[in-house]
Structures are given as structure tokens and as C-alpha cells.
Amino acid sequence: MPIVKIELFPGRDPEKKAELAKAITETLERVGGIKPEATTVMFVEISPNAWFVAGESLGNASRGT
């Protein structure tokens, strides 16, 4: 039972997340032979202020995310 956890900044379109979850599920079925009902995809939205790279908050960065 694969669990795919995707951590990202808030604000993504729910329809795009659904499209991505479907594509991931279909890929696991096609490549890994895993039945779709066995796959879980989770999106965890994390504020840029709570996400740090190299000790620097991404909330202070001007990155295209």
C-alpha cells in the first residue's frame, strides 16, 4: 500500500491537486502493478514561514513556487 506524501506551499488549485493525484495513482498502477485502491496520495500544505532551507525561511525568499 503506497502512501505518497507531497509537501508544498498553500494555494494550489484543488483541481490541479486532484489531477496530480490521479496521475501518480495511474503511474503506480502502470509501472508498479499496484491497484489504484491501494494507493494513497496526501498533500500537506506548509506555510513558507515554517519551511527552511539552509537555515533560511522560505517566507523571506522571493522564489517561484
CB atoms within 10 A of CB 25: 20
CB atoms within 10 A of CB 6: 14
Note the pTM of the prediction, 2 decimals: 0.82
User: What's the pLDDT tens digit per position in 1-42?
Assistant: 999 999 999 999 999 999 999 999 999 999 999 999 999 999
> Is residue 64 very low, low, confident or very high in pLDDT (cuts 50, 70, 90)?
low
Taken in order of first residue, the domains within the chain and their CATH numbers are: 3-46 (3.30.429.10)
CB atoms within 10 A of CB 16: 9
